[in-house]
Amino acid sequence: MGAAGHAIRDSGLLYHMHREWNLNGKTWPRSPELQIQEHDCGDLYAIGCQMTVVARRLDPAKRQFQYDPVNGVPTDFIEQLPIGNRCSKGEDHEKPNGEWNAIELICLGDESIHIVNVVVVMRLTKATRLDGPARATLTAGKILLQSEGAELFYRNIELRLITAIPAEFAAK
């Protein structure tokens, strides 16, 4: 349970979805996921795909990694040991429970950026499909708004075509 006894609001934005649902008994389709869960907004789950994030291991004995563009190293996240498919965002930029958060996702080519309340919380590169005879660059696919675990609401959803990363979110 979360604060004030309510269920943790667990959701996500799955993007570049590819292949059919429930593949090999998995609930969610192959895709990178921008996690939208209380205190985890911006985290990565690489579901049946591979994403590279500059990250550092938080605990040498566990598969806990955090986005760290200063002290991290390029790390491939995939549903396999020893790394696993989850990387936590760098810092928590969520608003208090009950307030609206602005979640943005920028995708261009095989790169993506997770943004929470106008702050980049993770940069991802080398999006890779793993479902063919050979690995392939992952640059397109369907979008899924996920909801699980508790009621939540989305509003003001916008999709925009871009040809370059907007200057305010470009790597410095």
In a domain? residue 84: yes
Residue whose C-alpha is closest to residue 49's, from 35, 29, 20: 29
> Within a 13 Å sphere around the CA of 54, how many CA atoms are in the beta-carbon half?
12
Tell me: the pLDDT tens digits for 88-126? Answer: 998 999 999 889 999 999 999 999 999 999 999 999 999
Q: What is the model's pTM?
A: 0.92
In a domain? residue 161: no
Domain with 41 in it: 3-147
Residue 6's pLDDT is: 61
In a domain? residue 15: yes
In a domain? residue 81: yes
Tell me: the pLDDT tens digits for 75-90? Answer: 999 988 889 999 999 8
In a domain? residue 36: yes
User: What region does 80 belong to: left with phi over 0, alpha with psi -120 to 50, or beta?
Assistant: beta
Tally of domains within the chain: 1
In a domain? residue 106: yes
In a domain? residue 40: yes
CA dihedral 96, 97, 102, 104 (to 10 degrees): 100
In a domain? residue 56: yes
Q: Give the chain's mean pLDDT.
A: 90
